[in-house]
């Protein structure tokens, strides 16, 4: 059995740290979308189909604070805003990929 890095599930457990950030219905879906490249607010809203602007804004804001995504605002009219993953965000790719593999087996 492969050893899992880190300590047992106490408050300093790496899984706990990760999930405190990644928890939430939409978070992983946002990251998955952004792994495909920069996306605009409306694009995310569309591809997540069902998310309310409130929740999308809330999650994007939190992910930005955690420095997992970066927000790029263009000072134009009408407004144009793009979101992209930071390096820290890109490092979530293995997580998303293994999740996708598992999710695919569910059928």
Q: Which residues bind a copy of itself (CB under 8 A)?
A: 2, 4-6, 8-11, 13-19, 21-25, 28-29, 32-33, 35, 47-50, 88, 91-106
Nearer to DNA, 46 or 97 (CB): 46
> 70: which residues sit within 8 A by CB, 6+ positions away?
64, 83, 84, 85, 86
Bridge-based pairing state of the strands 39-40 and 69-74 = unpaired
Nearer to DNA, 17 or 61 (CB): 61
Please choose which of a copy of itself, DNA, none residue 58 contacts, taking the beta carbon within 5 to 8 angstroms, the exact cut-off set by kind: DNA
φ, ψ for residue 80, nearest 5 deg: -135, 125
Please choose which of DNA, a copy of itself, none residue 53 contacts, taking the beta carbon within 5 to 8 angstroms, the exact cut-off set by kind: DNA
Helix, coil or strand: residue 61: helix
Q: Which of 78, 94, 105, 106 binds DNA (CB under 7 A)?
A: 78
Find, among 44, 22, 49, 45, the residue nearest to 34 by Cα.
Answer: 44
Give me the residues that bind DNA (CB under 7 A), please. 23-26, 40-43, 45, 50-55, 57-61, 71, 73, 78-82
């Amino acid at each position: 059995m492969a050893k899992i890095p880190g300590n047992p599930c106490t408050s300093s457990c790496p899984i706990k740290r990760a999930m405190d950030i990644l928890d939430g219905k939409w978070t992983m879906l946002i990251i998955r979308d952004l792994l495909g490249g920069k996306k605009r607010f409306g694009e995310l809203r569309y591809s997540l189909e069902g998310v309310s602007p409130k929740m999308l804004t809330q999650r994007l804001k939190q992910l930005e604070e955690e420095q997992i995504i970066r927000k790029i605002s263009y000072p134009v009219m009408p407004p144009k805003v793009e979101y992209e993953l930071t390096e820290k965000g890109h490092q979530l790719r293995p997580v998303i990929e293994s999740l996708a593999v598992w999710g695919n087996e569910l059928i």
